[in-house]
Structure formats: structure tokens, C-alpha cells
Amino acid sequence: MPETSRRGLLFGTAAVSAGVLLTACTSNEPKEAAATDTGPVASDDKPGKAVTIGFAGPQADHGWLNAINDQAKSRAKKYSDVTLDITEGSNDIAAQIGQVETLINKKVDVLVILPADGKALTQVGLKAMRAGIPVINLDRIFSNPQAFRAYIGGDNYGMGVSAGNYIGQKLKGKKDAKVIELAGIDGLELTQQRSKGFDDALKNYPNIKKVARQAADFTVESGQAKMAQLLQAQSSFDALWNHDDDQGVGALRAIQQAGRDDFLMVGGAGAKAAMDAIKADNSVLKATVLYPPTMAASAIDLARTLGQSKGISGLAELEIPAQVTLYSAVVDKDNVDQYLPTGFR
Amino acid sequence: MAPTPPTTPLLTMSGITKTFPGVRALDGVDLEVEAGEVHCLLGQNGAGKSTLIKVLAGAHQPDDGVINWRGEEVTLKSPIAAMRLGIATIYQELDLVEGLSVAENVFLGHEPTTAGFVVRGREARSAATALLARLGHPEIRAHQLVGSLSAAQQQIVSMARALSHDVRLIVMDEPSAALDPDEVDNLFRTVATLTADGVAVIYISHRLEEIRRIGDRVTVIKDGRTVAVALPAKQTPTRDVVALMTGRNVEYVFPERPAATAAGAPRPEPVLRVEGLSREGEFASLDLEVRPGEIVGLAGLVGSGRSEILETVYGARKPTTGRVLVDGVPLRPGSVRAAVRAGLGLAPEERKAQGLLMLESVTRNVSVSSLPRFARGGWLDRSAERAAAQRATRELSLRPDNPDARIRTLSGGNQQKAVLARWLLRGCRVLLLDEPTRGVDVGARAELYAVIRRLADEGLAVLLVSSEVPEVLGLADRVLVLREGLVVHRAPARELDEHRVLDLVMEGSPTP
Amino acid sequence: MKQPASEARQGGPDAPATPDPTPSSAASDASAKSTEEKKGWRALGLRLDVRNLSLLGVLAALIVVGGITKPDQFLDTNNLQLVLTQASVIGVVTVGMTFVITSGGIDLSVGAIVALASVWATTLATQEFGFAGILFTAVLVGLGCGLVNGVLIAYGGMVPFIATLAMLASARGLALMITDGKTQIVTVTSVLDLGVPDSYVLGIPPLVLVFAAVTVVGWLILNRTTFGRRTIAVGGNPEAARLAGIDVRRQRLYLYLFSGLCCGIAAFLLIILAGSGQNTNGNLYELDAIAAAIIGGTLLSGGRGTIIGSVLGVLVFTTITNIFALNNLQSDVQQIAKGAIIVAAVLVQRRTLRNGEV
């Protein structure tokens, strides 16, 4: 069958060359690589005692979590006295417990843990503490305060409150103002907390009514789909709060596709794309409420300070505090330049 | 049926009829079984044995007929109903759970329990041990996993399961098929233990010598009918039994052989030639040739390698040695496509499972091997396809004359014609027919024979396999007799008769 | 959903394609009669059958519900455009899936292939090649994954469930590796422009045009080509197909390639729609596509498939989502309704089929 084999050869050649071409296309390196900016380092940044910090986080399958890893890594790099032992991220609870146990066995000086699930990782946190390794619990809190030396994390309820208050201020004096909400994954507690904070804040503004809410699932695809439906359902409204800037990319796309610009949009989390849009001021996106991934950098700072047995400057305390809950600042056109370096991609 | 007044028979089935779409599987079957006997059920593949035992197991509902159980008329609505009466069936494909232990299998579905759901494992194990001991197989341990047992041991477990119910009749479907000779001896001892306890056994097997060894009486069925009731198993001559199984009970009309062949006129070159074809454990060093216009028949009992030969010639199985040539050109071994391209066509034994697309129309079943002919660049000309299929089916007088009819609404004979039409349309030159009248109503057979002869007259070479000796003798020009994978005799069909073939086929079997 | 169900049930036996429920003795008469009745449809070149009718009933009922609850928003052109646009991505995937299921297989990797193709086609390196680069990469990645599936299943002898499950895992992993979890924004304007109203052709969004084209081509291939006929034969009885001289393995290879191709096209549509590529794209597409094909009337065991039914299935799901969102009902209720629709549609279908032709 010479015909068949020639056809086969042609096909094979095409496949191989296509493969080579394709492989070259996986690169995501931008022309000028911008290093992640983690802000000013701690004031007391004179090299001290060498500290090994173990870091265990979930799988970075989402922009924000990826930013967490970046923040931790680049922060640690800034200190000559810090060695960072970072594990492969995992969403599997059992796998993450195993990773933490490995870090304990390696006798790292301090542990930073962003658990896949706070409750499920509490036991291994306790184990580390009992082994004499102080634990910094990042964002998703353990169910037992004894399982961490210090907790640092965001405030989901406060995020909703900030968004509600910002929108309330912007719509002040407007009669019968209508607001809609594009929430994140409904099955997550943090989504419920954000929505509750948002609703509670809106109660301060009797002229505003929330007329619709749909839940997307933190993906661009779902953001586009749900936003398109919301826009069709509500022919006019005044403001939109979107919980997450990643799904916001899709929401903005839907808004663009529907040709709508009759409202103001507030985002959530603080992605760089969102901040760029706020700075450019050419879309409905006017502000975003932070849920800052810089908390990972702060966690490294705390870990280093703990490892070197120091306190935090700026506080009268000799010891670092047990819990730090971050404030969800609102970034809008006025202050965007200040926050832009912390925006994540 | 012979009345046996003093004792009521354990089971009497009379006039059992069961029809499936397109075929009458049972056509008035009678069966009578006494308590404590081994009653053998004989019949060829497709004679209706499996349907009959499924009726008895409650898996099929008969259309007509009466079942009496210990003197009372009963209906067996479901397998559970049959089991409650004390009828257990051990199928060829054992229905054991390999991942469970022997005891768990024995008591599956009726475990001894506390409070209705807590299984009393120890009690189940000791009860299972007792049952296995009663069957004479204490070496099988109740806690062993069934998956770790041999086929013979698994069969014993199936019997223990049957005994765990209060069973009075055990149906065994070809229990010896998967066993070694000494395992068969063991099985027979177990069967003897059962019958000594008054349990009746219906024993199905193709092996006549086994029936002779353990059987008390024999019932023979053929084409869904009982052809002999309650023959004495030990005294009836083997040849008579085989004749009952394979012989005609209706005089078929076979078409005339063409005069040219009979007169020995100059013959065309063979189109199909098989040289030294062997397959490990199935058949060995087969040589044969088939000329255009000729029908060659292979006769033999089940297990003689008949179907395996056809499938190997067709490329559906790969030969160990030997080759198949069409017009002198060897075919790539083990390639159906090469065979089809060279002009071979197969009408397989299991028509529904291997031959037909049961969800589809007649047209699509006929055209499936010739699609490129109706296509330009892959696009089908459906009216041309339909017309061509209709021409082919009309030529074979397939009824209904409706190319859009669903194939499964057709009778067995017409389904077979659809398969033949497929190869006719393809323009095939060698037709391989495996049991072409299996499941075909008696009335429709003569027509099918005529069709096959006409195709040969038109220049096709036909290689025919059948377990029915009269069919091979009546239809074929030349006959090869097979026994255990070897050709034991070759002769023109005119020079053979049924008795001679049966003697050849069974040479070596104990003949009284 | 009781209303459409009973409608369809009553409508079933009167439907033109339904033969008399007579047993085999009278089968020849019955099928001959039904053939004559079917001629009208054949003249149109269309064979709507019972399965499609019952699903059309469900869709009609949904439209009534939407029209009553939200007359202003539901019954307008924008909303029609919206529903069809949202249906296009999963619709294209479902066409490919319908072929695979008809052949007796299953492709669990479609969502993962869409994700991988969409991120591979939106890397900064690919975007440098512009429109053609993105389209070419998306389609090629889809075909590549389909090729791997096909070779493993057809020539490696792997069960489709396992082979495509493995592809699901690896393609998702590779997608994550490429993106690092980041959203890849598309900056190529010629691609983005296809997603906004300016690009609509006579009011029809380009995405919907592609969806329609894939549907028509899929329908033609399944019903009018040797490829389609072989697909049905392989699904209906692989052994009979083999003994009839069909190259069953090659056919299987082509089928998974085709499904991969559909995923590649769908990924390109998704890139246009979302203006980006993300490794979480195509989440649970496999289940949506299988569900749509099954409620459409394609047999999960193979041997029978309907493209029209599958597309109707997709439209039913998209319309439900739309009506629920317009009425501001939350995702939990939407999911429950979706499950109920699947059960209802399959039950109605089984009933009408039993009344009709077993």
C-alpha cells in the first residue's frame, strides 16, 4: 500500500512539526519580566541568626493562591539569613499533612502553613507546636488556637463590608439605587461571609436595594456566563460587586459584550489586571476590595522574627501578637498607584 | 407420556412453548423427572435446552404449557419462586462472587442473621463446612475466597449453595465442560451422593459417554421439540441417540445438484485453497479446496473444530501454522479485512451476536460491508444504497420486501438471508456458512437451502459447516468429516449416508 | 416538569415515526405502513423521531415557563443571542461526544482538553502569532489529545473510561503547569472582536454560527457518510462490524480524534467568549456533554445516536440556567432542577420508546 504509507508519512511529518511548533508556544515569559514586589522589608532587616522556614500551601490553581506562593518566595529571597523550604502545593488534605510532617522531621525553625482545610490540618499544627516548632497559620484558621503561635489572614466579612460601604458612599443621595452581586463558589464559607458583610454594610444605606445575586465559581468562564445572565435579567442597575477579580475578567468581558456602561463595578481580591483597569479608568470597574496576598510576605516576616526571637517594631509588645487580621482596603483611582505593585497576575 | 401411577413424578413439564421475536425457541416440549434420578437432557446447540432450563429456573415465562411440581400445577414467576419450591440451577457461567468467601457465597441472599442484618459468620461457616462435607469435599474450606478455587471446586460451591436451600431438583448445565477427567469423576461421585439423598438432577451434556455413566433416563430435544422422552440412558444405542439429536424429523427438500458436477465435467480452478492450517488445541493440518460453483461441507460434532476452522479461514482467528490462499494468493493471516477484500464472506454461527446490527434496518445490515461503493468522498448516496440492498434482498426473496424494516422484526431465516445479501452485494466469491439454519424455522429451511444452492450455481464457492448431518449431506457436493480437529474422511456427498457419517464422527466413543 | 412529560407521552404514539406496537407476527405490515408515513419527513431530508419530539416538548414547556415568569427579559432577541452563545461552547463538545458515545465509547477528557487547548492557545508566545496562531494551536492541541486517546483505546486496548480518565488528569495537570494558576488575558483584538455585538452577522453571533456549522456537519457525517454508518455499526455490534470487514480499530481512533477536534474548536470559542485562557476552563464539561447526549436520545451502550437530540439537550440545559438566573434563583436550585430534568427526560424517552418500538 504505497499510497497509504505516503499518506502516513505526510501525516507523521505534519504531526511532528506541529508538535515542535506547539511546544515552543507554552512559554509564558513576558518580554520584560517584572519581579513580584512585596513592599518594603521589615525595618529591622539587618541579617541575624540564620532561620529555616518551612512553607506548606495548597495547590496554586488560582491566581490568588499563586500570588501567595510568589510573595512568600520573593520575600524570603530578600533576607540573606532566611532559607525557605517550600513544599509542592496540594489540595489533598492527607498529602498536605504528610508534607507538614516531613517539614517537622526536617526540624525547620518555623513553619508557615496555609492549610487546604483549616480544621483538617489542626492536628498536625498541634504536633508541630508540641515538637517545639512555632507555627504561623496563614489565612485559613485552625480550629484550635494552640495549633499556632501566630495567625495572619484576611477578613472575608470585612471585605464585604468594605465593598458595601464603598458602594454606599458612591450612591449616596441616589433614590432607589439598585445593586447586584456576583458571588464566588457558593459552597465555600468564605463566600457566605463576604455576602453577609456586604448585606450588613448595605443596611446602613436605606436608599440602596440588592436586586439580584448569582454565584460563579472563581473562574473566568463562569464569571462571563453568570454575568451575561445577570445583565440580561437586570436592564438597569447602579452598582455591581464581584467577589473575585479572576472571575471578574469574565464578568468584564460579558459587560463589554452586552455593551453596558450604566453602572459602577467593584472587584475583589486585588488582581493586577483589575488595578490596571482601575488606573486606566476606561471601564465600569472603578475599585477593588483587597484580600491581599502580601499576607504571605508578612507571614515570612513574622516567621523570621519568631525564629530570631524578636518582637515587631512599632508595637510596644515584646512578643509578636497571636492573631493579625488584615484590613480589606478599597483600591480606587486615587490610591491605585500605591497598591499596583502588590497586584497579582 | 408414560403414566407412572404408583409415584407422582417430581416434575412434569408438558407442551412448553416459548417464542422470541423471529424464532420459536420451544415448540411444545415435554419433560418428566422422578425424585432421585439423574435425568439427562440432550440436544444440539440451539435446540432449546437453555431456554427450557431458564423456564424451569423462572428466568423465562413460557407462552404456553403446564408445569407440575410434586403433583401440583405451579407457575414459576421468578428465579426466587423457583428456588423457594426447591429448584436450583447451576449455569455454565457460574454465578459466584469471586471476592467473597465460600461460606458467604453459599449463603448469599439468605445469610443466617441476628436482628435481621448482623450476619452470624461463624454459624454460616460451620453450616457451609457441613454442606461441603456432605458433598464429599471437605478439602474446600468455608473461609477460602471463591476466586482462589479451581473451576471444579467452584462448581461444588454452587452445589452447596443449592443445597443450602431445601432443594429437590438441581439443574446442571454442562457441568463437565470445564473439568479434567479426574475432576469429572469427583463430580459424578457428588452427583451420586445427591441422588442417594433423593434429590433429582437434570444433567445437560454433549458427552454421550458421561450420560451413559451416570444417567438414568434421557430426554432428547431438537428444534424446540421433544423427540424422545425418558429413554433408558444405559441401554439406548449411541447411534440412535445421536440420530435423534441430529437427524431430520421433517423431510427437508434439498435442491438438485447441478448436472455438470454430477457428470464430472471439466472443473474450474479452486478459488479457495487451505494448506496445512492448524490452531493449537482446536484443529490441525487441514487441507481443503473449494471451486466456484461447489459446496463443500464440514461435518462433525460440537468440539470437532468446525466453527474454529471457518473463523480461522476468515481471518477472525490467527492460525498457528498453515495458510489460506484465494486464487493462489496467500491472505494475510488473522486479518478479516484482507479476507473480505479478497472476496470472502462469513455468515457466522451466532447470527445476532456476531452478524447483525440489531438496532438497524435491513438496508443498513446489508450495505455495511459495501459502504464505499455507495459513497463519493465519504458521502453516501442513500437512495442508491437502498436500491442496491433491495435488489440483493429481492434476489434472495427476503420478506418483508421492505428495506427499511428493522432487522430484529425479521424471522431467523430472513435474518440469515440479510447476511447472505450482504455478501451478495459485496460481490463476494467465497461464502463461509456456519450453521446457516440455526434458529431458522423448519418450514423456512428448504427455501434457504435453495438460495444457497442457487448462489453456488451462479459461481460462488461455498464452505458449509453444520452439526446436522442430513443438512451437510443434502446440501454439499463434497463432505469432510471432522473428529476432534482432524479430518477423518473425505468423500463426495453422494457416497455417504447419515449412519456412515455418524459412525465416523463418533469412532472411539464407547458403542454398546 | 409534569406538563411536558404527559404531553410528550400522549404525543408519542401519534408521532409520524412511531410504528404500531404490534408484535413480530405483524411486524412487516407495521413497518411497511410506517415507512409510507415517514416519506413526508424523508422528503424534507429530516428524520425527527420520538426521542427528539419528547425533548422538543420539554424545551417548549421551558419557553412557556420563561415567557410567563420573565416576559420582558426572556422573550427578546438579546436573550436568544445570549442563550445560543452560552450553548455554543458546550454544544460543540457535545457533538463530538455524541459520536464517541454512539460508537459505544466515552470521552471523559473533553473538559480537560478544552482547558489545555485554551491555555496553550493563549500563552504569551502563542499570542504573538495572532489570530491564526491561537486558532491553529487550539485545534492542534485538541487533535493531539484526541490522537493519544484514540491510539491508547484503539491500538493499546485500553478501556475508553480509563484512557480518557488518564487524559483528563494529565491534560488538567499540563494546563496548570502552563498557566501556573494564572489567568491568561487575550490581547489579540481580532480574536476579541468576534465576541462583541459589532461582529454579529445578521444578528447572529459568530460563536453561534460556528456551533450551527459544527452541528450541521456533525449531522451530515453521522447520517450521510460511510464514517457515520461505521460509527453506528461499531457501537451497535463491534463483533459484527469486525466480521463485516470494518476496520473497527481505525474507526475508534478517528472517533477520538474527532472528539478532540471538537474540543479544540470549543476551546477557541471559549477563548473568544471569555477573552482569556484559564486552567480551570471546561470544568465538568464531560458530565454536561454526556448528560445532554443521553437526554437527547443517544444510547449510552452505543449503536444509536442523534445529533439533533444532543443539541436539543444542550439547549434545554442552557435554557434552564437562563430562566433560573433571570428569576434570580441560586445555583443550588439550578443544580437540583438539572438533575430532575435529566431523570424526567430519560423516563419520558423510555416510555415513548416502549410504547413505540421497544
- The CATH number covering residue A286 comes to 3.40.50.2300
Query: Which sequence spans correspond to the domains of chain C?
Result: 77-357
Q: Let me know: does B359 contact C235? Beta carbons within 8 Å.
A: no
Residues A82 and A126 in one domain: yes
> Cβ atoms within 10 A of the Cβ of A90, count?
17
Choose the closest CB to B369 out of C30, C32, C244: C244
Interface test with C, best of B63, B360, B368, B429 (most C CBs within 10 A): B368
Residues A304 and A252 in one domain: no
Among the partner residues A213, A222, A271, nearest to C328 by beta-carbon distance: A213
Q: Is B91 domain-assigned?
A: no
B467 and B487 both lie in a single domain: yes
Does residue A338 form part of some domain?
Answer: no
Give the amino acid at C266: A
Q: What residues form DSSP beta bridges with B38?
A: B201
Q: Are residue A129 and residue A251 in the same domain, yes or no?
A: no
**Joined grid coordinates for residue B487:** 479430518
Kindly give the confidence (pLDDT) of every residue in chain B, 512 residues in length, as a single tens digit, with 9 standing for 90 and above.
Answer: 444 445 788 999 999 999 876 677 888 899 999 999 999 998 876 678 888 999 999 989 999 999 999 989 999 998 888 988 999 988 877 778 888 899 988 888 778 777 777 778 888 899 999 999 888 888 899 999 988 888 888 888 988 888 888 889 999 988 877 677 777 888 888 899 889 988 999 998 777 778 888 899 999 888 788 888 888 888 887 777 777 877 655 556 788 887 655 555 567 889 999 999 999 888 999 999 999 999 999 988 766 788 899 999 999 999 999 999 999 999 999 999 999 999 999 999 888 889 999 889 999 999 999 999 998 888 999 999 999 999 999 999 898 899 999 998 888 889 999 999 999 999 999 999 998 988 777 678 888 999 999 999 999 999 999 878 888 999 999 999 988 888 999 999 989 888 788 788 776 443 33
Same domain, A267 and A228: yes
Residue in chain C nearest B366 by alpha carbon: C244
Residue of C nearest to B376 (CA): C225
Domain contains A265: yes
Q: Considering only CB atoms, which chain C residues are within 8 Å of A59? A: 176, 181
Same domain, residue pair A238 and A161: yes
Is B253 inside a domain boundary? Answer: no
Residues A140 and A206 in one domain: no
The answer, yes or no, to whether ipTM is higher than 0.90 is no
CATH number of C77-357: 1.10.3470
Contact C283 A219 (CB under 8 A): yes
Is B81 contained in some domain?
yes
B500 domain-assigned: yes
* Single-letter amino acid, residue B304: S
Buried-exposed string A207-231: b where 16+ CB fall within 10 A, e elsewhere: ebebbbbbbbbbbbbbbbbbbbbbb
Verify whether the Cβ–Cβ distance A28 to C176 is below 8 Å: no
Residues 6 or more apart from A189 whose CB is under 8 A from it? none
Higher pLDDT, C258 or B440: C258
Interface contact C240-B360, CB threshold 8 A: no
In a domain, B172, yes or no: yes
What is the per-residue pLDDT for B248?
57
pLDDT on residue B390: 94
With an 8 Å Cβ cutoff, are A27 and C196 in contact? Answer: no
Q: How confident is the model at residue C180 (pLDDT cuts 50, 70, 90)?
A: confident
Whether C133 sits inside 8 A of A256 (CB atoms) is no
Indicate if B183 and B238 belong to the same structural domain.
yes
| Confidence (pLDDT) at C273 | 94
- Of C120, C141, C176, nearest to A61 by CB-CB distance is C176
In chain C, positions 107-166, which contact chain A (CB-CB < 8 Å)? 120-121, 123-126, 129, 133, 137, 140-141, 144, 147
What is the pLDDT at residue A308? 86
Q: Is B241 domain-assigned?
A: yes
B38-42 and B64-69 strand pairing: unpaired
B458 within some domain = yes
Clarify whether residues B59 and B122 are in a common domain.
Answer: no
Instruction: Select the residue of C73, C133, C180 nearest A232 (Cβ to Cβ).
Output: C73
- 3-class SS string, C264-283: HHHHHHHHHHHCEECCCCCC
Residue A193: how many other CB atoms lie within 10 Å: 16
Angle at A229 between CA A223 and CA A231, to 5 degrees: 95
Residues A199 and A303 in one domain: no
Which residue is it, cell 483611582? A333
CB neighbourhood size of A258 (10 A): 18
Residues B227 and B239 in one domain: yes
Higher pLDDT residue, C133 or B108? C133
Peptide bond into B400 cis (omega under 30): yes
Q: What is the mean pLDDT of residues C262-280?
A: 94
A141/A126 Cα distance (integer angstroms): 13
Range of the domain at B2: 1-86+166-246
The residue among B148, B165, B182 that closes a domain is B165
Which of C73, C279, C327 faces A61 most closely, judged by CB atoms?
C279
Do residue A203 and residue A254 come from a single domain?
yes
pLDDT of res. B355: 92
Count of CB atoms situated within 10 Å of the CB of A285 = 26
DSSP A173-205: T-TTEEEEEEES-TTSHHHHHHHHHHHHHHTT-
Domain identity same for B382 and B500 = no
Contact: A213, C270; criterion CB under 8 Å: no
Any A CB within 8 A of C340 CB: no
B273 beta partners: B289, B325
Which pLDDT score is estimated for B197?
87
pLDDT reported for residue A27: 76
- Please tell me the distance from the alpha carbon of residue A120 to that of residue C29, in angstroms, as a whole number: 69
Answer whether C70 touches A (CB < 8 Å): yes
Residues B329 and B451 reside in one and the same domain: yes
Nearest to C183 among A18, A59, A63 (CB): A63
pLDDT of residue C19: 39
All three cell numbers of A129, joined, read 507546636
Examine residue A244 and state whether it is found in any structural domain, yes or no: yes
| DSSP per-residue string spanning C164-210 | HHHHHHHHHHHHHHHHTT--EE---HHHHGGGSGGG-BTTB-HHHHH
Does B437 lie in the same domain as B408?
no
Cβ-based contacts of B399 with chain C (< 8 Å): 28
In tens, the pLDDT along C282-334 reads 989 999 999 999 988 888 889 889 999 999 999 999 999 999 999 988 888 88
Residues A164 and A282 in one domain: yes
C 160-199 residues with CB below 8 A of A?
176, 178-185, 195-197
Sequence-separated (6 or more) residues with CB below 8 Å from residue B147: B98, B99
Indicate the helix (H) or strand (E) that contains C242.
helix C238-243
What pLDDT score does B251 carry?
A: 59
Q: Which residue of B has its CA nearest to C220?
A: B379
Do B298 and B422 share a domain, yes or no? no
Same-domain status, B331 and B444: yes
Please answer whether residues B238 and B58 qualify as being in contact, where contact means their C-beta atoms are separated by less than 8 angstroms. Answer: no
pLDDT at B357 (0 to 100): 92
CB pair distance less than 8 Å for B316 and C242: yes
Interface of A with C in 43-72 (CB under 8 A): 59-63, 65-66
Q: Do chains B and A touch (3 or more CB pairs under 8 A)?
A: no
| CATH code of the domain covering residue B274 | 3.40.50.300
Q: Which range of residues forms the domain containing residue A265?
A: 156-290
Could you give phi then psi for residue B287, rounded to 5 degrees? Answer: -120, 130
Nearest-angstrom CA–CA distance, B364 and B422: 9
Confirm whether A219 is domain-assigned.
Answer: yes
For the record, the C-alpha cell of B248 comes out as 431430520
User: Can you list the residues of chain A whose pLDDT is less than 50?
Assistant: 1-3, 33-34
Chains that contact C by 3+ CB pairs under 8 Å?
A, B
Residue from C18, C20, C22, C24 whose CB has the most chain B CBs within 10 Å, to mutate: C24
Q: Which helix (H) or strand (E) holds C317?
A: helix C307-326
Together in a domain, A207 and A265: yes
Residue B130 phi, psi (nearest 5): -65, -45
Map grid coordinates 456458512 to a residue.
Answer: B433
The C-alpha cell 433560573 sits at: C324
> Is C325 touching A (CB cutoff 8 A)?
yes
Residue B261 forms part of a structural domain: no
When divided into structural domains, chain A yields a total of 2
Indicate if A62 and A173 belong to the same structural domain: no
Q: Would residue A169 count as lying in a domain?
A: yes
Same domain, A225 and A141: no
The helix or strand, by DSSP H or E, that contains position A285, with its residue range, turns out to be strand A285-290
Q: Which of B271, B283, B337 is nearest to B310 (CA)?
A: B283
**Which residue in C83, C124, C147, C182 has the most chain A C-beta atoms within 10 A of its own C-beta, making it the best mutation to test that interface?**
C182
Tell me which chain C residue has its CA closest to the CA of residue B22: C24
Among residues B382, B401, B428, which one ends one of the domains?
B428
pLDDT for residue A61? 74
Phi then psi dihedrals of residue B239, to 5 deg: -60, -40
Closest CA to B347 of B251, B442, B266, B426: B426
